[in-house]
Amino acid sequence: MKLHDSNYRGFASDNYAGAHPEVIAAIAEANGGHQISYGEDDYTKQLQKLMRAQFGEQAETFPVFNGTGANVTALTSLMPRWGAVISTSTAHIHTDEAGAPERISGLKLLTVDSPDGKLTPELIETQAWGWGDEHRVQPAAVSIAQTTELGTLYSIAEIRAIADYCHARGMALHMDGARISNAAAALGVPFRDFTTDAGVDILSFGGTKNGLLFGEAIVVLDPSRSEGLIYLRKLNMQLASKMRFVSAQLIALLTDELYLTSAAHSNAMAARLRSSLEAGISDGSITGLSFSQKTQANAVFGVLANDVADRIRERVRFYDWNRAGGEVRWMCAFDTTEADVDAFVAAITEELAR
C-alpha cells in the first residue's frame, strides 16, 4: 500500500530522495539463502576489495548504519579519553548530531568559526595548543567535511596542507564524507586523490545522501592511527548482524561508477538552480534574492525575506538555515529533474514578485 505521492519533490534535503533502483536491486540480489552474520559474508568481503581499489591496499572498511555512527565511532578510534577534536562551528558533528560525539564518545569538540565552512592551518592553530597542560583537553584530531555543511569544497592542496599541519603536531585527520561522492564529481578526480594521497587518516564514507536506503562506512586509510574499531563499532551500536545488506548497497554504489553518475547529476541540478536564479536577478525578473555561499556541489544557499520563504515553502519544502539572517538551504538529489528545478525557480520567482 503506497502512502505517498511518488511524484512529489522537495529541496530540503538529499535525504528526502528514495533509494536508487540499482541499490534496491542489489538488496534483492543479496537476499535469499544464508550468509554468515556480522561481516563474514561474501558481500562485505567484496566491499573490502572494492574500497581498497578506491583508497589503497592498506584501507580497512567497516560498514555501519548511519553517518553519525560513522563519525562518532571513527573519531573515538583516533584518540585517548582526554583527546579533543578541532572542527568548524558549522560542522555536522557539532550542530546536527545531538551531542553524540561528546555524550557517546566523551571527546571534546574545539570549534572554530569559518565563513565558508572550511578549516585552514591558520584557523586550526587557534585551537591547536596546550599539549602537556593538564588543565586543558589535548587536541588529538581535526575533522573536516567534504563537501562542507555550507556546500563548499576543499581542493586537494587545501586538504594536503591541513594534513601536513596535523601530522607535524601529532594529530590525526578525519574526513566526514557524507557527500564525498559529490566532492569527487565536483573535483573530477578519484576518491584517493583527495583522501589517502592527500593525507587523510580516516574517512566516514557516505551513501544515504547518494541513493542508499541506509548505510555508510568507516574507511581507515592509515591503520596506524586508528585503534579498536572492531570493538568500538559494536560498542557504539553500529554493528549490523545482517551486514550483507549494507555492503551490497555500497557495492552497487561503487559498481560502474554509480556513485559518480548520481552525484554528478545532483551537482548539475544545483548548478541549474543557481544559474537560473542568477539569470533572473540579472534580467530584473527576480529581486530580493542573493546568495551566501558558492554553489560547488549539490547545495544552494540563498538569502531572502522570511515571509517570502514561508510562502514558497507552502508550495515546495526546504529548510531555513539561519532565519535571523534570512538564509535558506536548497538541496538537490540524484533524482531531481530539470523539470523539478524549473518549477521551483518559477515558484521562487512568483513569490518574490508578490
Give the total number of structural domains in the chain. Answer: 2
281 and 242 in one domain?
A: no
Give the model's pLDDT for residue 1: 87
- Of 237, 256, 275, the residue that ends a domain is 256
pLDDT band at 300 (very low <50, low <70, confident <90, very high): very high
In this structure, what CATH number is given to the domain that contains residue 291? 3.90.1150.10
Decide if 295 is inside a domain: yes
Cα-based distances in Å from 215 to 20, 204, 298, 346:
13, 11, 20, 35
pLDDT digits (tens, 9 = 90+) for 225-281: 999 999 999 999 999 999 999 999 999 999 999 999 999 999 999 999 999 999 999
pLDDT digits (tens, 9 = 90+) for 57-85: 999 999 999 999 999 999 999 999 999 99
Decide if 17 is inside a domain: no
d(CA 55, CA 180): 13
Strand partners, 205: 177, 217
146 and 92 in one domain?
A: yes
Give the model's pLDDT for residue 129: 98
Higher per-residue pLDDT: 1 or 92:
92
308 and 164 in one domain?
A: no
Decide if 4 is inside a domain: no
306 and 249 in one domain?
A: no
247 and 134 in one domain?
A: yes
DSSP SS3 for 119: coil
DSSP SS3 for 121: helix
246 and 100 in one domain?
A: yes
Q: What is the DSSP string of 307-341?
A: HHHHHHHTTS--EEEEGGGTEEEEE--TT--HHHH
Q: Are 152 and 296 in contact (CB under 8 A)?
A: yes
Decide if 12 is inside a domain: no
Decide if 275 is inside a domain: yes
Range of the domain at 100: 22-256
Global confidence as pTM: 0.97
179 and 287 in one domain?
A: no
Count Cβ atoms within 10 A of the Cβ of residue 121 and give its class: 0-12 exposed, 13-18 middle, 19 or more buried.
middle
Decide if 95 is inside a domain: yes
- Name the average pLDDT for the chain: 97
